[in-house]
């Protein structure tokens, strides 16, 4: 059994529940409609697609992923609500990339 810290809750995962990475949270400074700066970056600049856009009270579920993603790994654009979260926007990897991708995405963006 593996114990994971999820947010502020600790959850136990048995061997039967092991899987693959499916969601990477990323803090964003804005969350207003389709004009969300982070959403525009992933969709317009990197060619990602918006998988869902659901409002759950004041929370917005907004995952994006690469169009050709076989693993269905998504990045969930989360609104940075607190001053602490706002200070982390763009720094969530501690000065390192949060994730890597295939060079074709970067090359297509560079050529545009």
Instruction: Express each pLDDT in 51-107 by its tens digit.
Output: 999 999 988 999 998 887 666 788 899 999 999 999 988 887 777 777 666 655 554
Buried b (16+ CB within 10 A) or exposed e, 59-69: ebebbbbbeee
CATH architecture, range 21-111: Roll (3.10)
Q: How many CB atoms lie within 10 A of CB 77?
A: 24
pTM as predicted? 0.65
Q: Coil, helix or strand for 1?
A: coil
* Rounded mean pLDDT, 8-12: 47
């Amino acid at each position: 059994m593996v114990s994971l810290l999820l947010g502020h809750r600790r959850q136990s995962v048995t061997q039967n529940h092991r899987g693959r990475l499916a969601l990477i949270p990323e803090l964003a400074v804005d969350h207003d409609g389709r004009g969300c700066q982070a959403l525009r970056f992933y969709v317009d600049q990197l060619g990602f697609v918006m998988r869902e856009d659901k409002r759950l009270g004041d929370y917005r579920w907004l995952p994006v992923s690469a169009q050709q993603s076989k693993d269905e790994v998504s990045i969930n654009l989360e609104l940075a609500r607190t001053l602490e979260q706002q200070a982390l926007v763009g720094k969530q990897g501690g000065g390192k990339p949060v994730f890597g991708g295939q060079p074709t995405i970067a090359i297509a963006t560079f050529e545009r």
